[in-house]
Amino acid sequence: MHDDDRPDTGAPALPPGVALTAAAMAQERAAESRRPDRLFDDPWADRLVAAAAKAGGAPWLAEGVTLGQLVPALDGYVALRTRWLDDRIRAEAGEPAAGAVQVVLLGAGLDTRAFRLPWPGGTSVFLLDQPGVVAFARYVLGELGSATWVPADLTGRWERELTAAGFRPATPTVWVLEGVLMYLLPEQAAQLTERLARLSPPGSPVLADLALPGVHTGGPFSEGRRNLDDNGSPTRFSTADPIGWFNRRGLHAHAVDAVKLAARHGRTPPPALDDRSPGCPLFQFMEAWT
C-alpha cells in the first residue's frame, strides 16, 4: 500500500460512456504493473479501478477482468501504447533548447502519467477531460504533483478553459490524444485536431492512436464494438488513411511500426496492430507535428 492511499468510499460516480472505458484502461495498467517484465509501473492504477468499481462501474472491474480478456484482439495493446507514449512524451518534453515545454493530455481519463513520469524542470502538464471524470480522478488521487486539471468538453470550446488554466499558446507543446479520436464524430475529431494545431507553434508534436475501418465491421473487433456500445461509448470515427487525415488537418505525420515497436520491448505484437493477424490491423499509432 502506498503512503498516499486514500479511501475510495464516497467517490463521485464516473459519468456513463467513455469514462467507463477510462477505468478499463486503468485496469490494463494495473495488470501490466504486476508483471515481472512490466513495461511501466503505475502505482495508482489499482486504486482507481477499486474506486471505479465501488462507484458503480461494470462488474468486471471488480472481478479483475482486463480489456485483453474481453477482446482478445486488444491483448497487449494498452501496455504497448502506454510505453510508446511514455517514451515519446519524455523524449519530446526534453527537446526545446530554451523555454518551458507544455504537455497536454486531451481526454486524459484516469491516466496517471502526469504523476508517475519524471518531468524536466519548468514543464507544465495539463489534464483535460469531462468535468465528471476530472472530479472522480481528483477525489481518488488527491493532490499529486503539480499537474493542472482542466474540466472541459472536447466537443465544445475547450481551448478557453485550457488557456484560462494557464496554457500558453506561444510555448512548444506536446499534445497527447490517447484513445480519444475514435469516440468522436468525424467532424469533431477533425475540429479538435485543427484547433490544437492553431494553438501551437510549428514543430509541436501530436501523439495519437487512430482507428482503422476494420473496427466497424465483423471480425476480431466485433466483441470490442459490442462492449463499447453497451458502455455507451460507440466507435464513431475511423480512417483508412491516417497520414493523409493528419495532412489534411495541416500536420505532418508518419505511422509507427507497431510490430517493430513490440519486438523492441520483447513483446508479441497485439493482434489489433499486426497486419499479419486476420482482419487486422484495427488501430494505428501516429506521430504528427504542427
Give the model's pLDDT for residue 245.
Answer: 98
- pTM exceeding the 0.85 threshold for the entire prediction: yes
Among 233, 250, 244, 150, which residue's Cα sits nearest to residue 193? Answer: 250
Instruction: Evaluate the omega torsion of the peptide bond into residue 281 and state whether it is cis, within 30 degrees of 0.
Output: yes
- Strand, helix or coil at 259? helix
Report the C-alpha gap between 70 and 88 in whole angstroms: 28
pLDDT tens for residues 275-284? 999 999 999 9
Q: In what order do the strands lie in the sheet with 124-129?
A: 148-151, 124-129, 102-106, 173-177, 205-211, 283-289, 252-255
* Confidence band for 55, pLDDT divided at 50, 70 and 90: confident
Grid coordinates given for 267:
513483446
Annotated domain spans of the chain: 74-289
- Please, what is the end-to-end C-alpha distance for the chain in angstroms? 42
- Cα 274 from Cα 214, distance rounded (Å): 12
For CA atoms 12, 110, 213, 197, the dihedral sign is positive
Assign 75 a pLDDT band (cuts: 50, 70, 90). Answer: very high
Fold topology of 74-289: Rossmann fold (3.40.50)
Per-residue pLDDT band at 127 (split at 50, 70, 90): very high
pLDDT for 97 beyond 70: no
